[in-house]
């Protein structure tokens, strides 16, 4: 309302009869509040109440005004007076319920809303506020029923439509949520929250392009919309465009600097570009502000994995996470009803969000494919939101498939118990999409971690971590909460069926050696880049190819290129490549003479891909699991002299191999056969070793020793 309108009301007040003055003052206060004149509005409401102590509307408006400013006790006093003036007023009851909710008295708020719904079932605003409270206290099903009731009595509102779409998403009814979100946008195309909610739903379905379009539209419609900037950042991050994601997160933080969710996401994006020090600092800041932010803690653990060299420190951080977030979820009594028959056909459940063309799937895919199905029944609990051809292949190999995207950890754990799983396997740990909250609830009698993560989790409810003997840090006791269970190797290789033929080493044709590192930007530590630069500086004419999908991002690529410029390496000697189709990616190994395994976190699938393509890999063995797997793999195929134990030896070994092109050429044609004949490449034998391990674990549990 304009200043002219306020003045007109004041003029009317002068001439108004005494019985109308309080109502006019209430109208003036409403107009002043709308104009942002909060103190003047409050004064007018109090004047109105002084003139007419039983004017419920003034009490209600002043109560809402005070609640919005955080003066909850004063608001409750005003609204109590409103109820005394008009006990049957749905507006007064609704306002009182909202004030109780703001005070944290949810039980009282719920009672008021229930009265309101019973007595005034057509009061839509009250029903919607009731639904929002039900959602907040963790009853989305009841909230959805209330929203549907509000929509049924009408009139239609964009707020109700958006809330309905959100609740369907929370309940895991993703397709219904998408339809509801699209309907809301069609009905109210200029309502920014509708665009935002639909963007969130699209992102949850893996429809990243659509998500970006509608989230951008939400920001066009509302300049001050940090939530939309945050989710737009998430959309960019999901497609690996971290620089764009970081820009959106910074825009969100400019509007709301204390938003911990955005800070957490910013830390992840910086870590994904390889800026681990910056990521760790931000994630620690988040935890300083909110020590109970579980996801930020897991993200911190993941970033620390890329730089930590002391496994005891890594274990201490994992245990601290578990003590805070996992241990309280552990059931006081483990009453698994599973039949204690040591030789029965076992139900093995695998939990992952990476049942797709992901590096981890090339490791655990071989295991799922080759279980002895006469003795093992496989159930996959899939949180995969972007399925592909590999998803379909794994689905065919499993006996049962459970979609868990949109389900919370408690619901997934309940499903595992309902399915009667005997052995539950974690394939993600603290990496993205991990479900450690499921394992904390101990829904299966035997629980295992390995393959997709394999570094230990810190959970007391996970019984075993699957490792090769040589991957276990040489410390007593081993730095794990889980008991290490020894397999022939930590990783089995699901060799690609469409791999190109092995090419001769390019140094024979070019006369210069080409090094390679085909690992994620997260693993290219400052230490690795220092050593790679020293190798190039001391190996005349040599070149380095760095390749991974993460380098599609301009920020990740610029970080690496800048690192070599700062170390005085000619940029023409460095080639940084991003994603290519899988066949072309494997063919690129043919352009490399010697792969350089990064440290302290080495490669897994990239290491095995290199060996399969005939390219030897130089690796530095450290103390942590992630710093020892490469040495295990290299020794398994007879490359013992490519395993070193310090950076000086790493540089010397790289230079030595660069000076011996005939030795590189001799290895080229035999490495694929070595891999195929080793425990790494024999997927069936590896699966049988896992079968035997699972059977032994199960027998222990049946004997009461689990």
Q: What is the pLDDT of residues 255-314, one digit of tens each?
A: 999 899 999 999 999 999 999 999 999 999 999 999 999 999 999 999 999 998 899 999
Contacts of residue 186, defined as CB under 8 A and 6 or more positions apart, other chains included, come to none
Query: Does residue 429 surpass a pLDDT of 60?
Result: yes
Question: Taking the alpha carbons of 43, 47, 53, 59 in that order, is the dihedral positive or negative?
Answer: negative
With both helix axes pointing from N to C terminus, report the angle between 226-238 and 242-255 in degrees, rounded to the nearest 10.
170
Beta bridge partners of 403: 382
Instruction: Render pLDDT for 189-209 as a digit per residue (tens, 0 to 9).
Output: 999 999 999 999 999 888 999
CATH number among 3.40.50.2300, 3.40.50.10490, 3.30.1300.10, 3.40.50.2000, domain 507-681: 3.40.50.2000
545 DSSP β-pair partners: 516, 575
Q: Across the strands, what pairs with 617?
A: 595
Q: Round to whole Å and give the CA distance between 588 and 503.
A: 10
What is the tens place of the pLDDT at every residue in 320-372?
999 999 999 999 888 899 999 999 999 999 999 888 877 677 778 778 888 99
Q: What is the pLDDT of residues 113-169, one digit of tens each?
A: 999 989 999 999 999 999 999 999 989 999 999 999 999 988 889 999 999 999 999
Query: How many residues are there in the chain?
Result: 706
CA gap 348, 333 in Å, rounded? 22
Question: Cis before residue 155, ω within 30 degrees of 0?
Answer: yes
H or E, element range at 468? strand 464-468
- Judge whether 352 and 382 are in contact, CB under 8 Å: yes
| Exposure class string for 676-701: b at 16+ Cβ within 10 A, else e | eebbbbbbeebbebbbebbbebbeeb
Q: Where are the alpha helices (DSSP H) in 370-452?
A: 389-397, 409-419, 436-440
**How far is it, in rounded angstroms, from Cα 560 to Cα 230?**
26
Count the neighbouring beta carbons within 10 Å of the beta carbon of residue 224: 10
Residue whose structure tokens are 């949850």: 204
Six-digit token pair at 427?
A: 């394939």
Does the pLDDT value for residue 12 go beyond 80? no
* Coil, strand or helix at 419: helix
Summarised one tens digit per residue, pLDDT across range 487-523 is 888 777 878 888 999 999 999 999 999 999 999 999 9
The predicted pLDDT at position 18 comes to 75
- Nearest by Cα to 634 from 619, 646, 647, 615: 619
Select from 80, 18, 86 the least CA-distant residue to 54.
86
Confidence of residue 387 (pLDDT cuts 50, 70, 90): confident
Q: Higher-confidence residue: 14 or 147?
A: 147
Read out DSSP for 332-383? SS--------TTSPEEEEEEES--SSSTTHHHHHHHHHTS-TTTEEEEEEE-
CATH 3.40.50.2300 fits 344-487, yes or no: no
* pLDDT on residue 1: 47
Beta-carbon contacts of residue 634 (< 8 Å; ≥ 6 apart): 617, 619, 640, 642, 643
CB 322 within 8 A of CB 442: no
What is d(CA 607, CA 471) in angstroms, rounded to the nearest whole number? 15
Contact, 33 vs 65, CB < 8 A?
yes
Please name the residues in contact with 448: beta carbons below 8 A apart, sequence gap of 6 or more. Answer: 423, 424, 425, 426, 462, 463, 464, 465, 466, 482, 485, 694, 697
| Nearest residue to 604 (alpha-carbon basis) of 478, 510, 518, 476 | 518
Q: What token pair was written down for 383? A: 């949180």
Q: Rounded to 5 degrees, what angle do the CA atoms 377, 383, 387 make?
A: 95
- State residue 366's pLDDT score: 77
Tokens for 335, please give them: 């009453």
Rounded distance between C-alpha atoms, residue 626 and residue 629, angstroms: 6
Q: Where are the domains of the chain?
A: 344-487, 507-681
């Amino acid at each position: 309302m304009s200043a002219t309108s306020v003045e007109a009301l004041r003029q009317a007040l002068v001439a108004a009869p005494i019985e109308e003055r309080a109502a006019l003052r209430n109208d003036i206060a409403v107009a002043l509040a709308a104009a942002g004149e909060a103190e003047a509005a409050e004064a007018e409401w109090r004047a109105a109440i002084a003139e007419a102590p039983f004017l419920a509307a003034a009490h209600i408006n002043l109560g809402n005004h005070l609640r919005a400013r955080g003066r909850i006790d004063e608001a409750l006093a005003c609204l109590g007076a409103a109820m005394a003036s008009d006990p049957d007023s749905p507006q007064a009851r609704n306002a009182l319920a909202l004030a109780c909710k703001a005070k944290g008295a949810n039980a009282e708020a719920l009672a008021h809303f229930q009265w309101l719904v019973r007595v005034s079932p057509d009061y839509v605003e009250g029903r919607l506020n009731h639904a929002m409270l039900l959602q907040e206290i963790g009853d989305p099903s009841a909230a959805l029923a209330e929203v549907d009731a509000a929509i049924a009595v009408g009139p239609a509102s964009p707020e109700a439509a958006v809330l309905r779409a959100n609740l369907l998403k929370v309940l895991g009814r993703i397709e219904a949520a998408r339809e509801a979100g699209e309907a809301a946008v069609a009905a109210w195309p200029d309502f920014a929250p509708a665009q935002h909610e639909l963007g969130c739903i699209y992102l949850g379905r893996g429809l990243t392009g659509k998500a970006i379009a509608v989230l951008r539209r939400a920001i066009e419609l509302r300049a001050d919309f940090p939530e939309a900037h945050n989710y737009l950042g998430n959309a960019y991050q999901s497609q690996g465009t971290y620089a764009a994601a970081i820009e959106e997160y910074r825009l969100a933080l400019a509007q709301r600097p204390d938003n911990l969710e955005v800070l957490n996401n910013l830390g992840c994006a910086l870590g994904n570009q390889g800026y681990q020090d910056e990521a760790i600092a931000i994630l620690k800041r988040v935890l300083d502000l909110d020590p109970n932010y579980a996801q930020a803690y897991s993200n911190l653990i993941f970033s620390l994995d890329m730089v930590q060299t002391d496994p005891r420190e890594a274990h201490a951080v994992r245990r601290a996470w578990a003590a805070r977030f996992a241990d309280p979820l552990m059931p006081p009594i483990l009453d698994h009803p599973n039949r204690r028959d040591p030789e029965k056909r076992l139900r093995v459940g695998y939990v992952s969000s990476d049942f797709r063309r992901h590096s981890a799937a090339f490791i655990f895919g071989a295991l799922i494919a080759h279980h002895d199905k006469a003795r093992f029944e496989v159930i996959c609990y899939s949180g995969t939101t972007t399925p592909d051809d590999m998803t379909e292949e794994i689905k065919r190999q499993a006996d049962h498939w459970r979609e868990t995207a949109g389900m919370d950890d408690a619901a997934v754990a309940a499903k595992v118990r309902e399915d009667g799983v005997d052995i539950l396997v974690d394939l993600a740990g603290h990496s993205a999409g991990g479900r450690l909250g499921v394992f904390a609830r101990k829904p299966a009698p035997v629980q295992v971690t390995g393959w997709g993560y394999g570094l230990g989790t810190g959970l007391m409810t996970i019984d075993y971590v699957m490792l090769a003997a040589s991957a276990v840090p040489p410390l007593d006791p081993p730095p794990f909460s889980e008991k290490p269970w020894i397999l022939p190797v930590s990783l089995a290789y699901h060799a690609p069926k469409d791999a190109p033929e092995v090419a001769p080493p390019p140094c024979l044709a070019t006369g210069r050696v080409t090094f390679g590192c085909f690992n994620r930007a997260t693993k290219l530590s400052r230490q690795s880049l220092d050593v790679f630069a020293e190798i190039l500086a001391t190996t005349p004419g040599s070149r380095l190819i760095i390749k991974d999908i993460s380098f599609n991002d301009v920020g990740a690529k610029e970080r690496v290129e800048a690192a070599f410029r700062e170390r005085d390496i000619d940029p023409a000697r460095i080639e940084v490549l991003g994603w290519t189709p899988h066949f072309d990616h494997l063919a690129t190994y043919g352009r490399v003479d010697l792969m350089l395994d990064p440290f302290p976190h080495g490669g897994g699938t990239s290491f095995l891909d290199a060996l399969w393509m005939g390219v030897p890999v130089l690796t530095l063995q450290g103390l942590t699991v992630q710093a020892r797997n490469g040495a295990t793999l290299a020794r398994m195929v007879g490359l013992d002299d490519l395993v070193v134990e310090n950076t000086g030896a790493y540089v010397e070994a790289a230079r030595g191999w660069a000076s011996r092109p005939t030795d590189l050429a001799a290895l080229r044609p035999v490495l694929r056969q070595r891999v195929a004949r080793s425990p790494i490449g024999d997927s069936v034998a590896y699966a049988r070793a896992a079968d035997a391990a699972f059977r032994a674990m199960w027998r222990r549990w049946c004997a009461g020793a689990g």
